[in-house]
Structure 1
Amino acid sequence: MEYLFISLIGYLLGSFPTAYLLLKKMRNVDITIQGSGNVGAMNTFDVTKSKILAVIVLLIDALKGLLSVYLSLLIFPLDFIYPALALSFAVFSHCYNPWLKFKGGRGLATSAGGTVLLFPVILIAWCIVWVIIFIMKRDIILANVWASGATMIIILSTAERIVKYSFPQAESISSLLLFSTGLMTIIFTRHINPLIELLNNKKFSLKGKDEQKTN
């Protein structure tokens, strides 16, 4: 019963459609049918060209993850599984929002907000990889995917050592791996389509260059 209660808290917090409500109120725009259709900070900027609105969306989406973990820790302060469940369900409902016909964001801001409290060392590792890849590739989607993949590899390869850096400390390595794998899976599923689109655009660009050379 406790698991269901905590999961519901996370799910309801995560389902708050920040970008959708903000853009409807401020610009009378339905973000689900504008730009990429993604209900998050990146598409908010793409649609509105407003850094302020994008940052507001980013911070509120991060706050959803932070609150889900914080509230679960208030109720169950010594068990890793409860904040892990709350954050996982917050990210899931953010990515597949029940109020928006299961459209949503990509889950990174909400994940980061919760991970600040739950597993800060992993968030730091993710950010370092993200910055490196972004500097090299100058593409946010690629940086997101590479950073998430690299972070998962780090967790899998060093689980026995880094488990002590979770807060509260995970009861077992398996619970840490289950949480991490679940969270990364949700994030990856929301990056499949933009990644395919990006790769197709690159192929088209390379094909165009080859045709120009032959001409």
Structure 2
Amino acid sequence: MMNHSLILIIIMLLSYGLGSITGAYYIVKMLTGKDIRVVGSGNVGATNAGRVSGKKGFLLTLLIDAGKVILALSFTSIVMKGEAYLILSSIFVLVGHLFPFQLGFHGGKGIVAYLASALFLCPLSIVVFAIVMGGVYIIIRKYTLSGFLSMGTIPIAAYVIEGSFTLSAGLVALFVIVVVFHNRSFHHSVET
């Protein structure tokens, strides 16, 4: 039987490694031969993959980016029981997605990784997110703002549905990381 610390290290490394599999980079390279980091918006995410390589590129990127989260969390749920381990795994997948080692630590913005984590941890929170997103978009007609306001409901919905402070706090942490990184990327792209 492996000791607890070794299992934690394996979870963190595996989660980071899976997170580093940047779907947009590989799909765009495969479909167009281009480096997504220097075309479109330069972002290594599903939206830019769709912009550069069409609907097929967008959907394949979504599948890869959601799939790596589900794979990491499934592995974690098999080797360790408890929400805290799943949150730890989610954070390391997200960090891998944001800072993939093989792409010089220049990754996506983490939205799909956050939503896939929420889907795994509390599937009904994604239903709430989708309903709120639809309602908010109808009112304000701004896609990105509607998305971020709606993503903020996920930790609240998870707490109401699951009654778990650990789960809700973990989803808050993931959401804050995504917001901070998205905001930093936005300001960086405006300045450069």
Residue pair 2:122, 2:162 contacting (<8 A) in 1 also: no
Distance 1:176 1:115 in 2: 9
Structure 1, unpaired ranges of 5+: 165-169, 201-215
Partner of residue 115 from structure 1, selected from 100, 118, 140: 118
> Which residue number corresponds to residue 67 of structure 1?
71
Aligned CA-pair RMSD: 2.5
Residue pair 2:43, 2:107 contacting (<8 A) in 1 also: yes
Partner of residue 34 from structure 1, selected from 28, 31, 39: 39
Residue 50 of structure 2 aligns to which amino acid in structure 1?
A: F
CA deviation digits over 1:138-170, x for unaligned, max 9? 443222211123334x25xx84x4334xxxxx5
Partner of residue 25 from structure 1, selected from 27, 30, 33: 30
Partner of residue 187 from structure 1, selected from 173, 178, 181: 178
Is residue 59 of structure 2 the alignment partner of residue 86 of structure 1? no
Instruction: Report the Cα offset of residue 34 of structure 1.
Output: 1.5
Give the secondary-structure state (helix, strand or coil) at the position aligned to 1:37: coil
Give the secondary-structure state (helix, strand or coil) at the position aligned to 1:190: helix
> Which residue number corresponds to residue 59 of structure 2?
55
Distance 1:151 1:116 in 2: 10
Residue 70 of structure 2 aligns to which amino acid in structure 1?
A: L
Is residue 134 of structure 2 the alignment partner of residue 131 of structure 1? yes
CA deviation digits over 1:157-187, x for unaligned, max 9? x84x4334xxxxx5xx2x2343122201121
TM-score by length of 2: 0.83
Q: Percent identity?
A: 28
What count of residue pairs does the alignment treat as equivalent? 185
Instruction: Report the Cα offset of residue 9 of structure 1.
Output: 1.5
Is residue 108 of structure 2 the alignment partner of residue 105 of structure 1? yes
Residue pair 1:66, 1:110 contacting (<8 A) in 2 also: no
Residue pair 2:31, 2:57 contacting (<8 A) in 1 also: no
Distance 1:140 1:194 in 2: 18
Give the secondary-structure state (helix, strand or coil) at the position aligned to 2:70: helix
Distance 1:123 1:4 in 2: 29
Give the secondary-structure state (helix, strand or coil) at the position aligned to 2:152: helix
Structure 2, unpaired ranges of 5+: none
Between Structure 1 and Structure 2, whose CA radius of gyration is higher?
Answer: 1
